[in-house]
Chain A
Amino acid sequence: MSILPPHRLDLAGHRRRNGVVPWVAYHGDDGRDRLVEAVEAAGLRGRGGGGFPTAVKLRAARSRRSIVVANGCEGDPLSRKDAALLALSPHLVVDGLQLAAHAIGATETVLCVDTGSPVLPSVTAALAERDDRVPVRIAEIPRRYVASEESALVHFLTSGDARPLGKEPRPAERGVRGRPTLVDNVETLAQLASAVLLGPHHYRAARTDLVTVTGAVRTPGVVELPAGPSLTAVLAAAGGETEPLQAVLVGGYGGTWTTDLRLGLSGIPAVYALPASACGLEYTAKVLAFLAAESARQCGPCMFGLPSIAADFAELVRGGPAVHRLAHRLPLLTGRGACAHPDGAARLAASALRTFGADVTTHQAGGRCRVLEGVA
């Protein structure tokens, strides 16, 4: 079963295609246990990038008055899979949201999307069609790269401040307004619904991944493939390359450059295909400048470190001797912020230096290696 239909499904269309949640099978307290066991048997892992086992999260957040937060924000400019899902199959997401709410005993659910998101009409219309046991509220979250990080969502829903809170306490312990809170990506919830509708056994055999593909491919967009596809398969699903590729950025702006197309992907929301004619160092410099500007400016290593490495990359592109400074700075950024934002920027920068090593030399020898024109 694919979770992404070709056209938007209203409630009747969703039920025709995907079926009806067998609520009666999960009635009562032992029903909750069976539901979590089904999620465990399905082998479901989070699709927001972290890949944490969903059943473990469900067990941790179980309480009498907990809250479920569905994360439909997409701070990463290279990812559109969650928006595609909310635009085309909102009811599958809400089915998953209701199942998660039942599993943990939640009395309240919140569906978070970016402020002014184009998916709002689809989501609002879907909720108006339903008569759910647990109410679903839509929250519009300020557009910021780190706002969709789970502690930032919890912080925003509690206080109106969309900045990360740090690693402790976990939301399952103390989340929105101090209540135990489960934060799950909307694709995770759609996959959860799919696992329950198909049954864990069938789901394991038929499960899929959503990946947003951009860059030098014929039909950029969101593709759905059997789980754990290779990069080659992902690029082929997006119509194949429009010209020879130099490298692929795997995992969005905080991701990793690679040239190995046989690489298997698992839970990777986005890939960007860099054509051979473009300069990976220039592209990386632009992304690092973006990431530096998106810092929540709470933690020193992020507030000062990110602009420093962005400036280093800009200097590198101009032919300056920034490589030694980067070798010293990059390892300093990892694991020192309240969230993984600086870690992602450092990972991207380090992988660019590895992957485009020859270009670093060319730039240092004087000027640019390639012409970056017309590349997003």
Chain B
Amino acid sequence: MKLSVDPIACRGHGLCADLLPELVRLDEWGYPVVAAGPVPPELAAETRRAANACPALALRLRKA
């Protein structure tokens, strides 16, 4: 699975970085920077939860 951010939809709420600090950090303006590469299997459930929690539905999880 691969995690990405829809840059137009993202409003910089920052929930993703709270819920998934292993893969998401925030830049100085509060917008998510997602780690490159596939989502590690042990984080799959957490990642799904973070994507579902995004208030703007901007955090996207796709089959790689």
Contacts and interface: CB of A to CB of B under 8 A. Distances in A.
A337 interface: yes
B6 A300 contact: no
Among the interface residues A165, A299, A300, A336, which one has the most CB atoms of the partner chain B within 10 A?
A: A300
Contacts of B33: 332, 336
Interface string A167-209: 0000000000000000000000000000000000000000000
A337 B29 contact: no
Interface string B1-25: 0000111101010000000000000
B7 A338 contact: yes
Contacts of B30: 300
A298 interface: yes
A166 B27 contact: no
Contacts of B28: 308, 329
Contacts of B7: 166, 298-302, 336-338
A226 to B, nearest CB: 40
A166 B6 contact: yes
Among the interface residues B7, B8, B27, B29, which one has the most CB atoms of the partner chain A within 10 A?
A: B7
Contact of A332 (B5, B8, B12, B27): B27
A23 interface: no
Among the interface residues A302, A332, A336, A338, which one has the most CB atoms of the partner chain B within 10 A?
A: A336
A252 interface: no
A186 B5 CA distance: 33
Contacts of A304: 29, 31
Contacts of A329: 28
Interface string A314-347: 0000000000000001001000111000000000
A236 B8 CA distance: 44
Nearest to A339: B7
A332 B26 CA distance: 11
A301 to B, nearest CB: 6
Given A332-B33, A336-B33, A301 B8 contact: no
Interface string B22-54: 000001111101000000000000000000000
B13 to A, nearest CB: 11
Interface string A273-304: 00000000000000000000000001111101
Nearest to B11: A300
A301 B6 contact: no
A255 interface: no
Contacts of B29: 300-301, 304-305, 308
A136 B7 CA distance: 34
A338 B6 CA distance: 8
B25 to A, nearest CB: 11
A248 to B, nearest CB: 32
B8 A298 contact: yes
A37 to B, nearest CB: 34
A308 B31 CA distance: 14
Nearest to A163: B8
A162 to B, nearest CB: 14
Contact of B10 (A299, A305, A308, A332): A299
A166 B8 contact: yes
Contacts of A298: 7-8
A336 B31 CA distance: 10
Interface of A: 165-166, 298-302, 304-305, 308, 329, 332, 336-338
18 contacts: A165-B8, A166-B7, A298-B7, A298-B8, A299-B10, A300-B12, A300-B29, A300-B30, A301-B7, A301-B27, A301-B29, A301-B31, A302-B7, A305-B27, A308-B28, A336-B5, A336-B33, A338-B7
**Closest CB pairs A-B (n = 9):** A300-B31, A299-B7, A304-B29, A298-B8, A338-B8, A338-B7, A300-B12, A337-B7, A332-B27
Given A298-B7, A298-B8, 8 more contacts: A299-B7, A300-B7, A301-B27, A308-B28, A332-B33, A336-B31, A337-B7, A338-B8
